[in-house]
Chains A and B, each alone.
Chain A
Amino acid sequence: MSERALPGGGLSTGMPSAPLARLFGWLALRGTLATGLAITTAILFIGFVAPFLYPVDPFAIHPDHALEAPSLMFPLGTDELGRDELALMLSGGFATLIVALPSAVLSFVVGVAYGLASGLGPAWLDRVLMRLLDAILALPSLIILIFFASLVTLDNTSLILLLGLIAWPSLARLVRNETIAQRGRDFVLASEQLGATRFYIARVHLIRVMAPVLVVNGTFLVGDSVFAISGLSFLGLGVQPPQVSWGSMLESALDIVALDPWWLILPPGLLIFGSLLAASLTGQGLLARYGGGR
């Protein structure tokens, strides 16, 4: 159950459910994956390719054009300092993704490793690791993030490390539960009887059976990372000025909301929404397409 959907707007724990795929079974299966991948491509394009295609300097100030609605000169309008909103959006996209993607990878690796160690190792190790995990999971991730963000200097590296080391616990628990569940299945027992070592079984059997779960959670993790860095930036504890990110752009827009700056609110918000949507759809689409037979 996603924490994100619970009161508090906290960090999503990224726990999908196979039943979710059933519920969306009515979406043409190909449609879900295709849509998800399409949006993902678009977002990646906006974040990594477009900034080089649109040569406007995002930090250039045009005081006489401050707070203008979209026009030919400024396709998405300008902010209160007269900066080109479109350029800001692209720059912010890059800043957001450059932190979100690596941290998602980091979380994934740590989470899977922890979960596998707990699930495949001796029973005492499992007990210790899980007990520790329970304590860690008691603290909502956003809270921990805020706490640690207040401690360290916030540059890209520290942000990546911070986010990467926060999101892994629920993935670890999921992986551990899955490992334990699959470990006792008949085909694993048969393999043991054939003389396979534990590593062989993990490599050949377990990974393959757990692949759908891992992939889906991996995609969700990416979405959560985007959300996390945006949320932190929104609170002023993420990407620091002068660099902008989608989250910080929303925050600045909200500061002057009385001036009805809809063109400053929509782009970053929709892009974050788009990232999360892309992650959800891609994950579900992959599960529906390739997850059959577990």
Chain B
Amino acid sequence: MSAVLQIYNLSVSLPRGRAGNVAILDELNLTVAAGEMLALVGESGSGKTIAALSVMRLLPPGAEVTGQINLAGRDLTTLDERAMRRVRGRDVGMVFQNPLAALNPSRTVASQISEAYRVHQGGSARAARARALELLGEVGIPDPAKRLDDYPHQFSGGMRQRVMIAMSLACSPKLLIADEPTTGLDPLIARQIMALIARLRREHEMGVLFVTHDLSVVEEHADAIHVLYAGRSVEWGRAVDFFAHPRHPYSEALLGSVARVGQQRLQNIPGNLPEPESRPPGCRFAPRCAYRQPDCEAAYPPPLGRAGTRAACLYPLPLTDRISYAQEAEKPPASNFTPQLEVKDLMVRYTSAAGLFRPASTLPPALSDIALSLGRGECLGIVGESGSGKSTLGRAVLQMIPYQGHILLDGEDFAALRGKPKRQQRKRIQVVFQDPRESLNPRIKIGDIIAEPLRLAGISGRAELKRRVDALLGRVGLNPEMAARLPSGVSGGQAQRIAIARALAAEPELIVLDEPTSSLDVSTQAMLLNLLKDLALEAGLSYILISHDFAVVSYMADRIAVLNAGRIVEMNHTGRLIAAPQHNYTAALIGAAPQLRTYSR
């Protein structure tokens, strides 16, 4: 197989503040063959996006690049800007994250795709338009002729990404670079996009460089894997070999922290990714590695491994080892229990008031006929795609939005309460939101944020408050000195832990978790989910966990309710639901989530 892309010893440094240039990527070597997909995997800060942008030479000004980038034999680093412009779009296509922002909202889809074609092939507007039509069909847009003159906002998220892909294929490039194209898309849609990219690479004999932080996304389709950590390659090789026998401790940890359907325990990687300025000499993963030895930190390990993948590790995992996970006994379903929370006949309808020329909104209800119950200490998972109403359900339980129907906590109906008693009752249910930064007031110190529920409960006195706040910080695994900082001074994972600490301070009985890990890295996610599990056992908390990620929910929940278009499609105990889904939609969702495969059992 001929190589489409060959990168030799690529090192990139970027200007960072007054310190001058900092090395972001060190000596990257990789090869993408025609017709194959290479997954470049790494967490945020690993340098993978920089690597992708380097191939396109779209780095920010001030970047220093050394090394060679060969595209079909030609070294791109030697080209001047003009020549490079001819390469971009014609020989290499690129698909970005967040297609709504990546498309010009003021130009039709046809004009943007045609542009990609005409810039390189010239020709008439008509020919370009015909090509655009052809491409839309190829990427699976239904009724392409009608949609040619639509604007980007008129497409759904998944369709927009298809448009992006169509645009990148306009000149039949030899290489396609995809930078996290499925992030932010619903799991079912994401799967479709992956399948599309895989199909295109086969049909066009195109090489695909797929950049992602999520291994589970590329499991099915990647031919080769390349793992980056803190700017250096740690493991690379054929995907088959990688998933069967990862050699590098980091790869093992990464695979272990991905929540998979049916998994019992997530592996946690302690510590944080080092900042580019403060990367350790020697193996960069060593400080966090469970298997580290003294000589790991001396100098950067050369690649080892003869069979299977190559790993930059002095002590790669032996081939015969398997990843093992602590098995937890599945909690037996309680035979009869008085439910802590009960929801009956819940309906939520968003209405917009009648305008001058418009009758009151006739939109379908966001939720209808919702009935469920939650026992003490139980975790109920709510799964659905965007628009299914799962967040709305959470907000209704939290009493944040008006609803029709009944929500009872310990037998008391919220609808019958007003004013102070209602506020008291509400306090017993707390919330953790998706975006940890948004849920903390950026201008209030962390100590005060956590102290707020305490103050509201009437606790006063600096010493007492400090004692409790420190205790809460400790419970979520944070240092008491963090109390003096502002939210801008902590990482996303830490911020989410602070949000949890704040929720705990109110001594709730039930916590609604609304996509608590969706905006975090995979390894941070693992840490957080484990923390939540531990807290639940310790404090006897119940959870309602809302997520679009089936695997995450199945890891945490005792029972799962599947929501689609505002209705509960199926609800059952986790184990039974996964083993024997009754509804097609449930089965599809399960199928789209990362699966537990033989190599990890």
Contact = CB atoms under 8 A, between A and B. Distances in A.
Nearest to A292: B488
A242 interface: no
B423 A195 contact: yes
A196 B426 contact: no
Contacts of A190: 431, 433, 439, 499, 502
B442 interface: yes
Contacts of B316: none
Contacts of A186: 433, 435, 438-439
B452 interface: yes
Contacts, number: 65
B360 to A, nearest CB: 15
B466 interface: no
A209 B438 CA distance: 12
Query: Which of the listed residues B440, B456, B499 has the most CB atoms from chain A within 10 Å of its own CB?
Result: B456
Contacts of A185: 438
A195 B431 contact: no
B286 interface: no
B429 A193 contact: yes
Contacts of B441: 187, 205, 208-209
A191 interface: yes
A130 to B, nearest CB: 15
B231 to A, nearest CB: 28
B438 to A, nearest CB: 4
Interface residues of A, number: 21
Contact of B456 (A189, A194, A205, A209): A194
Looking at chain A's contact residues, the main secondary structure is helix
Contacts of B487: 293
B443 A192 contact: no
Contact of B443 (A196, A197, A200, A208): A208
Interface in A91-112: none
A189 B488 contact: no
B440 A187 contact: yes
B276 interface: no
B433 to A, nearest CB: 5
A203 interface: no
Interface string B432-453: 0101001111111000000011
A211 interface: yes
B425 to A, nearest CB: 10
Nearest to A209: B443
B404 to A, nearest CB: 20
Contacts of A293: 442-443, 486-488
A293 B457 CA distance: 28
Contact of A194 (B400, B440, B442, B452): B452
Query: Which of the listed residues A189, A193, A200, A293 has the most CB atoms from chain B within 10 Å of its own CB?
Result: A193
Contacts of A208: 441, 443-444
Contacts of B457: 195
B418 to A, nearest CB: 14
Contacts of A205: 441, 444
B22 interface: no
A294 B437 CA distance: 10
B430 A194 contact: yes
Query: Which of the listed residues B442, B443, B453, B502 has the most CB atoms from chain A within 10 Å of its own CB?
Result: B443
A17 B442 CA distance: 20
Contacts of A197: 423
A195 B423 CA distance: 5
B400 A192 contact: yes
B424 interface: yes
Nearest to B438: A186
Interface string B458-481: 000000000000000000000000
Nearest to A123: B353
A195 B438 contact: no
Nearest to B514: A186
Given A186-B433, A292-B488, A293-B488, A194 B427 contact: yes
Given A208-B444, A293-B486, A293-B487, A195 B456 contact: yes
B336 to A, nearest CB: 31
Nearest to B434: A186
A7 to B, nearest CB: 28
Contact of A193 (B431, B440, B444): B431
Contacts of B439: 186-187, 190
A195 B427 contact: yes
A193 B400 contact: yes
B403 to A, nearest CB: 16
B487 to A, nearest CB: 7
B506 interface: yes
Query: Which of the listed residues B427, B429, B439, B441 has the most CB atoms from chain A within 10 Å of its own CB?
Result: B441
Nearest to B433: A186
Contacts of B427: 193-195
B398 A193 contact: yes
A292 B439 CA distance: 17
A195 B507 CA distance: 12
B391 to A, nearest CB: 12
A196 B456 contact: yes
Contacts of A191: 452
B392 to A, nearest CB: 14
A209 B442 contact: yes
A4 B469 CA distance: 50
A185 B443 CA distance: 14
A211 to B, nearest CB: 7
B456 A200 contact: yes
Interface string A24-59: 000000000000000000000000000000000000
A116 B482 CA distance: 33
A192 to B, nearest CB: 7
A217 B262 CA distance: 56
9 contacts: A187-B438, A187-B440, A190-B433, A193-B398, A193-B430, A204-B444, A211-B443, A293-B486, A293-B487
Interface of B: 398, 400, 423-424, 426-427, 429-431, 433, 435, 438-444, 452-453, 456-457, 486-488, 499, 502, 506
What are the 7 tightest A-B residue pairs by CB atom distance, in nearest-first order?
A293-B442, A186-B439, A186-B438, A187-B441, A194-B453, A208-B443, A195-B427
Interface of A: 185-187, 189-197, 200, 204-205, 208-209, 211, 292-294
Given A193-B430, A196-B456, A294-B443, 17 more contacts: A186-B433, A186-B438, A187-B441, A189-B431, A190-B431, A191-B452, A193-B429, A194-B430, A194-B452, A194-B456, A195-B506, A196-B452, A204-B452, A205-B441, A208-B443, A292-B488, A293-B486
